[in-house]
């Protein structure tokens, strides 16, 4: 295969035709050369397409460690948390975040001490009472005051502060947390003063007005339903409940025929309708998709509208946005947009999208995907109001066992997320890569590959799912690693943004996959990532974003996001703990890893709040 790629790049026919033209060679020669090149291209495409099957897997031995070994690793994560939090307390508290290289501090999120609030439930899980008590004394004094003309970003404030207060309340029942959550939920409410009921980007909490553009990113306008639903439940306030029902109502009634039933990225806050055709599970979209399933699960699986939205979204992604890379057969998810009347994919794969395998695994764990009639749904009928090609896609999906299909998708994607770490000399994953596809390389959708795999007798693991070694293995060839061309050829991708931002999505998915499948390989992969964080990101006072993960000994950036303590270290800790301390049937993590309890609306609440 490499041969054919290189062969095309230096195609002698192409070079020769240019030389001939200079010597005044006739048009017939040129036409012949052109036809010859086209023929070669066609051969090349077909050759690649038909050598996709079978999809070989590497044999990788993952040792069975004793429970004591994993508990000791959980303890190491707890120590990492203490290192980071003590650095924050010493140099930054009560500001928002620590600058872990300069020992400075920064107010990124309203200056209410976001790292402390974001860390509360992690401390509770780790049993860090002294740290928790110190943070709580700040919460007692918290009054959400701000200088005049400050704009509070709605989405980040909800997921970090409101989510943090609510989950600590759920775990302790401490009234002060509910009071603070209620106050915060109330001062943010002017954001909902749009004619659609979708929140605007930010709020001036001093004046009580909303700010921001007339258009909103999907994730920012539709990732607050869990928080406001639970806030409504524990405060018994109808106005909090009404706010979350508005988003569900808008989304469920949006006109999505053109988009195959999936929500695009940009929305008009007046009309409540989508304004572009950019479909993505990455930045600016991610958590809105995540909340469809999570909202359904958190409200005890009564909210069928959200379940339908989840099934439509995942079906569109499985059919249209998942691809297999040409050489290593890495499974990945990308985006689509309309371009000159056709559909185009960027083949970018974002670290942010690595929440998706965990979400799919959570769906497999909680939903009767092969027996949706048990929850009052018919899978193929969900596509009745879509275009015929989308309807066909649903039928193709339904020709597989949907539980298996969703789990394979989860496993294949999670493996690719992990490999983007393991492939690098640092062992840390870049923020965005671009997969080799399109142009000279064939675009192979996962479902095309799956159909081929099925037709050819299901030999070996499904495409993209079998275990794979990192591309460099134990090799230590710097020249090789750093050479862009060679990397693209062998790895199937190039790195577009080489920073590791201490992000959680990959370890989040590893954790959920481990809990759902019990396969220790997910733990081993998480352990490799934790060790890389210790090696590359640790500073004397905390942990720092790492600049170029594809080099040896990269520089660090003076940034330690609060989500590193709220999410990344929490998921790693839960991954290594033997005991399942946050059972996935009883708790649902918000998009900042704050677990909220599953609850049911009573008959009286449903009547009072107009919940179906």
The backbone torsions φ and ψ at residue 197, rounded to the nearest 5 degrees and listed phi first, read 90, -10
Of 137-145, 230-238, 313-321, 582-590, the window that binds ligand NAG (rule: CB under 6 A) is 137-145
- List of E strands, 436-488: 444-445
Burial zone of 343 (CB within 10 Å; 0-12 exposed, 13-18 middle, 19+ buried)? exposed
Q: Tell me how far apart the alpha carbons of residues 149 and 135 are, in angstroms, rounded to a whole number.
A: 27
Structural tokens at position 157? 């404030």
> Contact at 8 Å (CB) between 430 and 320?
no
* Binding segment toward ligand NAG, per CB under 6 A, in 351-359, 398-406, 415-423, 444-452: 398-406
In the set 118, 220, 227, 286, the catalytic residue is 286
Q: In this structure, what token pair is assigned to residue 440?
A: 């000279």
Q: Does residue 35 bind ligand NAG (CB under 6 A)?
A: no
CA distance 97 to 89: 10
For the CB of residue 280, give the shortest distance to ligand NAG in the complex, in Å.
29
The reply to whether 505 belongs to the active site is: yes
> In the block, which residue shows the tokens 């395998």?
357
Number of chain positions touching ligand NAG (CB under 6 A): 26
The correct pick among 6, 270, 399, 476 for binding ligand NAG (CB under 6 A) is 476
Number of other CB atoms surrounding residue 220 within 10 Å: 25
| 248 in a known ligand binding site | no
Say which DSSP state 98 is in.
Answer: E
Which residue's CB is nearer to ligand NAG, number 182 or number 605?
Answer: 182
431, 505, 508, 592: which is the annotated catalytic residue?
Answer: 505
- Taking CB under 6 A as the rule, which mask of x and - marks residues 203-222 in contact with ligand NAG? -----xxx------------
Q: Which of residues 83-112 bind ligand NAG (CB under 6 A)?
A: 102-103
Is there a catalytic annotation at residue 497?
A: no
**Min dist. Cβ of residue 364 to ligand NAG (A):** 9
* Site track for ligand NAG across 399-438, x = CB under 6 A: --x-xx----------------------------------
Q: Which of 255, 474, 485, 579 binds ligand NAG (CB under 6 A)?
A: 474
Looking at 167-175, 230-238, 283-291, 476-484, which segment touches ligand NAG (CB under 6 A)? Answer: 476-484
Question: Is 550 part of the annotated catalytic residue set?
Answer: no
8 A C-beta contact, residue 183 and residue 175:
no
Among 73, 160, 328, 491, the one annotated catalytic: 160
Cis peptide before 54 (omega within 30 of 0): yes
- Rounded to 10 deg, the angle between the 521-536 and 569-576 helix axes is 140
Contact, 11 vs 440, CB < 8 A?
A: no
CB-nearer residue toward ligand NAG: 129 or 401: 401
- Apex 177 CA angle, 175 and 179, nearest 5: 70
Distances (CA, A) of 373 to 58, 252, 300, 377: 39, 20, 17, 5
If one asks whether residue 370 binds ligand NAG (CB under 6 A), the answer comes out as yes
180 annotated active-site: no
> Quick one: DSSP state of residue 61?
P
Tell me the window of 138-146, 162-170, 172-180, 445-453 that interacts with ligand NAG (CB under 6 A).
138-146
CA 458 centroid distance within chain = 29
Q: What are the tokens at 284? A: 């600016």
Binding-site positions for Ca(2+): 591
Residues that bind ligand NAG (CB under 6 A): 102-103, 141, 143, 145, 190, 193, 208-210, 370, 373, 378, 380-381, 401, 403-404, 474, 476-477, 479-480, 486, 540-541
Binding-site positions: 591
Q: Among all residues, which ones are annotated catalytic?
A: 156, 160, 286, 505
């Amino acid at each position: 295969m490499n041969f054919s790629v290189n062969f095309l790049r230096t195609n002698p026919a192409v070079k020769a035709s240019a030389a001939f033209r200079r010597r005044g060679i006739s048009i017939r020669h040129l036409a012949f050369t052109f036809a010859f090149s086209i023929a070669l291209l066609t051969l090349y495409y077909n050759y690649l397409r038909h050598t996709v099957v079978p999809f070989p897997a590497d044999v990788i031995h993952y040792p069975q460690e004793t429970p004591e070994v994993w508990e000791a690793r959980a303890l190491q994560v707890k120590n990492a948390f203490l290192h980071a939090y003590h650095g924050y307390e010493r140099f930054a508290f009560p500001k928002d975040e620590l600058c872990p290289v300069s020992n400075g501090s920064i107010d990124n999120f309203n200056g209410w001490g976001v790292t402390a609030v974001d860390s509360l439930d992690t401390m509770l899980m780790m049993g860090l009472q002294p740290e928790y008590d110190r943070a709580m004394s700040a919460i007692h004094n918290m009054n959400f005051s701000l200088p005049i003309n400050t704009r509070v970003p709605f989405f980040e404030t909800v997921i970090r502060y409101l989510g943090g207060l609510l989950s600590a309340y759920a775990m302790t029942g401490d009234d002060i947390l509910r009071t603070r959550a209620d106050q915060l939920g109330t001062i943010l409410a002017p954001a909902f003063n749009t004619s659609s009921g979708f929140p605007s980007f930010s709020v001036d909490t001093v004046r009580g007005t909303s700010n921001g553009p007339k258009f909103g990113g999907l994730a920012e306008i539709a990732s607050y339903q869990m928080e406001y639903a639970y806030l409504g439940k524990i405060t018994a306030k109808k106005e909090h409940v009404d706010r979350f029902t508005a988003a569900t109502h808008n989304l469920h009634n949006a006109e999505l025929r053109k988009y195959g039933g999936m929500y695009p990225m940009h929305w008009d806050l007046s009309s409540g309708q989508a304004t572009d055709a950019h479909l993505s599970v990455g930045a600016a979209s991610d958590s809105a998709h995540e909340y469809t399933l999570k909202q359904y699960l958190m409200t005890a699986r009564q909210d069928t509208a959200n379940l339908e939205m989840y099934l439509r979204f995942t079906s569109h992604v499985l059919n249209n946005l998942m691809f297999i890379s040409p050489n290593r057969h890495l499974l990945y998810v990308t985006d689509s947009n309309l371009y000159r009347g056709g559909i185009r994919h960027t083949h970018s794969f974002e670290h942010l999208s690595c929440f998706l395998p965990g979400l799919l695994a959570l769906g497999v764990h909680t939903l009767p995907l092969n027996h949706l009639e048990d929850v009052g749904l018919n899978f193929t009928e969900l596509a009745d109001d879509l275009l015929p090609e989308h309807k066909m896609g649903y039928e193709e999906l339904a020709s597989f066992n949907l539980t298996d299909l969703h789990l394979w998708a989860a496993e294949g994607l999670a493996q690719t997320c992990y490999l983007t770490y393991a492939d690098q000399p640092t062992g840390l994953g870049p923020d965005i890569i671009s997969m080799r596809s399109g142009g000279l390389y064939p675009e192979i959708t996962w479902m095309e590959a799956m159909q081929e795999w099925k037709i050819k007798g299901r030999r070996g693991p499904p495409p993209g799912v079998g275990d794979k070694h990192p591309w460099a293995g134990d090799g230590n060839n710097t020249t090789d690693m750093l050479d862009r061309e060679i990397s693209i050829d062998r790895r199937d991708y190039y790195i577009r943004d080489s920073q590791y931002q201490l992000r959680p999505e990959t370890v989040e998915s590893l954790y959920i996959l481990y809990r759902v499948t019990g396969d220790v390989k997910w733990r081993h992969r998480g352990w490799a990532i934790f060790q890389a964080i210790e090696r590359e990101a640790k500073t004397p006072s905390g942990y720092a974003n790492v600049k170029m993960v594809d080099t040896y000994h990269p520089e660090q950036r003076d940034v330690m996001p609060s989500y590193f303590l709220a999410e990344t270290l929490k998921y790693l800790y839960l991954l290594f703990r033997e005991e399942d301390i946050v059972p996935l049937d009883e708790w649902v993590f918000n998009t900042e890893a704050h677990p909220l309890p599953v609850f049911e609306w009573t008959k009286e609440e449903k009547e009072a709040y107009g919940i179906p």
